[in-house]
Amino acid sequence: MTTFSRRTDWVDKPILTTPVHAADLLRIENGVYHALDTTDTSTQNINSHLTFASTKKIQLYANDITGSVQRLVEFHSTNAEDRPWLSWFDENTRHVCASGYHTKLADSLGGDILKQFEVKTIASSGGPNPTDLRTRFAIQCDVERGTWGVNYIDNFEINQAENPLLTTPGSIVPAGMRIRLAPNDTATAGSGTVVCGQFLVQIDASDNVQGFLDVLPPYLAGGTIPGNRTATLSIFRNTHTASASQPQLAVKKGDGTNTNSLLFTAPSGLFELPLALSGSTGIKLGADASATLYRSAAATIKTDAALAVAGNLGVNGTAPVAKPTVTGAKGSNAALGSLLTALASYGLITDSTTA
């Protein structure tokens, strides 16, 4: 084993006690300094690569028990565009991923100040840029409260197992978040995990956008859907407020005015359609454009279609009653006969009178 140890005339610069190439294990007890400035003779320089066989390793030991960050491995930039990162290569020596701190873009790329930690992975080997490392994850540095985000990503998954990440084939690929859970029954548990929830958004060739919010019972794709499983989407399940008007579910008009087109108040169950003031803005029932319901004037509900009431009817504040039957003789009164006929045709009465 090769060990870095201190020398008395170097306060914090370790040296090698035996050659690295002869070591089975490289153990670093203090620190390693790779001098970017070769004129600095107080720092031990490693002027070539350190290469280890597949069965060998580097071990880093920390002995600081104060709870502070222990800088066992340090990467130092020499300028704002320098990026001394950790990189990984596959069995074909293809640079597949890397991570590190990115200060700014090169001036040739615009010179934007980034100050962020990034994780990059290689683009598709069959794509237009097979050698490009794409930023997949970035988090801001040098800020009190930062932002983190993902780039060149179609989907984000929360997975209860180690299944491969879900892929979505097709020309229109939804982007969003999926949640994969492990089923409890033996019929579907053998598949590992299945998608039980997802929020997806997709854009088509004409730039039309659709969004999907789904909860799904666990079953295998293409298999038999179990009949005893349900899927329920709950909103405000554990929301507790002292207000009688909150929480609310509001759908805005979408024109930038913040106007409600739909408002549901959960504590009272009140469902409001503030814009339902005409047949074109009210409730449309079925495919018939005239089968609508809306507020035509103050305290007035109107439909542009026929209205049929199957049950009892009450008007002007009276309680609904069963359809009355009118009896007796009309006494050859034509006007009365016409009235009774009209009321009966509307279903308001049953005309059992005689002439």
* Type and span of the H or E element at 119: strand 113-122
Q: Domain boundary residue among 97, 131, 150?
A: 150
According to the model, what pLDDT value does residue 224 have?
60
337 lies in which domain range?
Answer: 309-355
According to the model, what pLDDT value does residue 248 have?
95
Burial grade of 23 (CB within 10 A; 0-12, 13-18, 19 or more): middle
**Range with the largest mean pLDDT of 18-32, 139-153, 341-355:** 139-153
Higher pLDDT, 66 or 126: 126
According to the model, what pLDDT value does residue 294 have?
95
Exposure class string for 185-195: b at 16+ Cβ within 10 A, else e: eeebeebebbb
Out of 120-134, 224-238, 266-280, least confident range = 224-238
Burial grade of 291 (CB within 10 A; 0-12, 13-18, 19 or more): middle
Nearest to 117 by CA among 134, 136, 141: 141
Q: Are residues 8 and 54 in the same domain?
A: yes
Q: Are residues 93 and 143 in the same domain?
A: yes
Average pLDDT over every residue of 149-160? 85
Q: How far apart are CA 114 and CA 105, in angstroms?
A: 7
What percent of the chain clears pLDDT 90, i.e. is strictly above it?
A: 38
For 252-309, the pLDDT digits (tens) are 999 999 999 999 999 999 999 999 999 999 999 999 889 999 999 999 999 999 999 8
Evaluate whether residue 270 is within a structural domain.
no
Out of 68-77, 92-101, 138-147, 317-326, least confident range = 68-77
Evaluate whether residue 274 is within a structural domain.
no
Q: How far apart are CA 24 and CA 93, in angstroms?
A: 24
For 173-217, the pLDDT digits (tens) are 678 888 888 777 655 555 567 788 899 998 888 999 999 999 988
Under DSSP, is residue 21 helix (H, G, I), strand (E, B) or coil?
A: helix
Average pLDDT over every residue of 87-103? 94
Evaluate whether residue 171 is within a structural domain.
yes
Q: Domain boundary residue among 127, 150, 173?
A: 150
* Residue 42 Ramachandran class (φ > 0 left, ψ -120 to 50 alpha, else beta): alpha
Q: Are residues 50 and 102 in the same domain?
A: no
Q: Are residues 104 and 144 in the same domain?
A: yes
Higher pLDDT, 1 or 174: 174
According to the model, what pLDDT value does residue 194 have?
77
Q: Would you tell me how many other CB atoms lie within 10 Å of the CB of residue 257?
A: 8
Evaluate whether residue 291 is within a structural domain.
no
Give DSSP secondary structure letters for 28-93: ESS-----SSTT-TTS----S-----TT-EEEE-----SSS---SS----SSTT----EEEE-TT-
> pTM for the complete prediction?
0.66
Reported as a pLDDT band with limits 50, 70 and 90, residue 45 is low
Average pLDDT over every residue of 322-329? 87
Q: How far apart are CA 47 and CA 35, in angstroms?
A: 9
What percent of the chain clears pLDDT 70, i.e. is strictly above it?
A: 77
Beta strands in 266-331 (DSSP E): 270-272, 283-284, 292-297, 300-302, 325-326
Out of 6-20, 96-110, 134-148, 300-314, least confident range = 6-20
According to the model, what pLDDT value does residue 186 have?
56
What is the domain count for the chain?
4
Reported as a pLDDT band with limits 50, 70 and 90, residue 31 is very low
According to the model, what pLDDT value does residue 258 have?
94
Reported as a pLDDT band with limits 50, 70 and 90, residue 168 is low
Evaluate whether residue 222 is within a structural domain.
no
Cβ 140 vs Cβ 115: under 8 Å: yes
According to the model, what pLDDT value does residue 58 have?
73
Q: Pairing mode, if any, of strands 155-159 and 175-181?
A: parallel
Cβ 296 vs Cβ 302: under 8 Å: yes
Measuring CA to CA, how many Å separate 71 from each of 22, 68, 118, 183? 27, 9, 19, 42
**pLDDT exceeds 80 at position 60:** no
Strand partners, 324: none
Evaluate whether residue 321 is within a structural domain.
yes
Q: Are residues 133 and 165 in the same domain?
A: no
According to the model, what pLDDT value does residue 330 have?
86
Under DSSP, is residue 338 helix (H, G, I), strand (E, B) or coil?
A: helix
According to the model, what pLDDT value does residue 220 have?
59
Evaluate whether residue 280 is within a structural domain.
no
**pLDDT exceeds 50 at position 351:** yes
Q: How far apart are CA 285 and CA 118, in angstroms?
A: 52
Q: What Rg, from alpha-carbon coordinates, does the chain have? A: 37
Q: Are residues 141 and 165 in the same domain?
A: no
Evaluate whether residue 278 is within a structural domain.
no
